[in-house]
Structure 1
Amino acid sequence: MSQPPPPGPHHYQQQPYPGQQYAPYPPPPPKKGMSTGAVVALVLGGLFLLLLLIIVIVAAAFSGGGDTSGKPKSPPVSVSNAPDAKPADKAPVAKAPVAKSQAEQFKAFVATSGTSAEKTAAKHVTRVQGANKKNDIMDVAEIHTDYTGGLLGPHGGDGKLLATAFAEWKSSKNGLVSVYDAKGELLANGNY
């Protein structure tokens, strides 16, 4: 008499017939590839993104064709080799007016058309950047102040006033103005 096999993990497994290999589980079904629709959608999406990138690059290249140095252009200098030209004959050269910085222009605007709270806040402006750069893709300007405390500090409301005054001064289809404190922390931001 043969004894029954001992209980354990091999108790319920069937023994393979001679010449067969034992497979404890059926083989996994073959994996299907992506459907044709998914492949077409990915290709078209990639082409759309590539086209969008090319449009943005071309728009950025053609929108900033002017002089971006911020320096006023000086008139051309003429040199005369005539021996009879006397320095006394030349008219006095008028000095070109000194261009105001963007911060001075912003403060002047607030002084003429701002509310009393905006005028008080504008006294703390130390620098304005990006106010004259426009490409209508994403116009970004920064206002730097001598305030402290950051976004949650005591001057967050003053930062919002400055952002609002900036939006009244400049306009853009999709501009963003950010107001920073003396340490460079964000006080407020707004659209303009």
Structure 2
Amino acid sequence: MSQQQPQPGWGGPQHQGYGIPPFQPQRPKKSKAGKIVGFGCLGVVALFVLIGVAAAAGGGNGDSTDTGAKDKAVAAGRTPESDKAEATPAQKTKTQAEQFKACVAKSGTATEKKAVQHVTKVTGADKRNDILDSAEVYTDFTGGLMSDNQGDAKLIASAFTSCYESKNGLVSVYGQDGDLIANANY
């Protein structure tokens, strides 16, 4: 019988320098790229906030100058003795719903005219900036998206798109209980 030599690490005496030294992994190098990207993004966000605060503080009266120029142009073209000057205040007294109904009565189809009889209120039709225009048409219909009145509500939305124009407008038609029935881009 032959005797075998004990393997190192299996109960035999350990000799200094005998065998393979235990493997020690090297510490990973810390990259500075993550810090640079993180602080860079934070700097960009801070720059946008600073620009926004400066713009808000500096330009507060943009709307009043625009409407003033429009009023002056309208006033220059108007003569007090003309019939149009007297007709303009009459149109101003009409509600948005009445203006919408008049537009549909003038240029709408027969089915649109019938559907528009159910309109009770229109909001947002007079405020258009071509960025995000949102108009709401309220009706006396009941139900929501799956109601029996959805076809008529779509006709109302279609009639609205024929009367008003916008680059990014959205008209929503609501029932008497406030449920959305139809909407369309205009």
Q: Normalising by the residue count of structure 1, what TM-score does the alignment of the two structures yield?
A: 0.59
Q: Using the alignment, how far apart are the partners of 1:184 and 1:47 within structure 2?
A: 42
1:165-180 equivalent positions in 2, closer than 5 A? 165-180=159-174
Q: CA deviation at 1:55?
A: 6.5
Classify the secondary structure of the residue corresponding to 1:161. helix
1:125-140 equivalent positions in 2, closer than 5 A? 125-140=119-134
Mark the CA change 1:55 to 1:150 in structure 2 (over 3 Å): closer, same or farther. Answer: farther
Q: Is the 8 A contact 1:60 1:135 kept in 2?
A: no
Most deviating of 45-54 and 178-187:
45-54
Aligned match of 1:97: 90
Q: CA deviation at 1:150?
A: 1.1
Aligned match of 2:41: 41
Q: Using the alignment, how far apart are the partners of 1:161 and 1:106 within structure 2?
A: 13
Q: What are the superposed Cα offsets for residues 113-132 of structure 1, whole Å, 9 maximum, x if unpaired?
A: 11222111101000111111
Q: Using the alignment, how far apart are the partners of 2:137 and 2:60 within structure 1?
A: 24
Aligned match of 2:138: 144
Unmatched 5+ residue regions in structure 2?
Answer: 1-24, 69-85
Q: Using the alignment, how far apart are the partners of 1:57 and 1:166 within structure 2?
A: 38
Classify the secondary structure of the residue corresponding to 2:167. coil
Q: CA deviation at 1:29?
A: 7.5
Q: What are the superposed Cα offsets for residues 162-184 of structure 1, whole Å, 9 maximum, x if unpaired?
A: 11211111111211111100111
2:104 partner amino acid: V
Q: Using the alignment, how far apart are the partners of 1:164 and 1:58 within structure 2?
A: 41
Q: Using the alignment, how far apart are the partners of 1:125 and 1:147 within structure 2?
A: 9
Classify the secondary structure of the residue corresponding to 2:98. helix
Q: CA deviation at 1:63?
A: 3.8
Q: Using the alignment, how far apart are the partners of 2:39 and 2:62 within structure 1?
A: 35
Q: Using the alignment, how far apart are the partners of 1:159 and 1:56 within structure 2?
A: 40
Q: Normalising by the residue count of structure 2, what TM-score does the alignment of the two structures yield?
A: 0.60
**Aligned residues between the structures:** 140
Mark the CA change 1:111 to 1:148 in structure 2 (over 3 Å): closer, same or farther. Answer: same
1:40 partner amino acid: G
Higher helix share: 2
Q: CA deviation at 1:186?
A: 0.6
Mark the CA change 1:63 to 1:173 in structure 2 (over 3 Å): closer, same or farther. Answer: farther
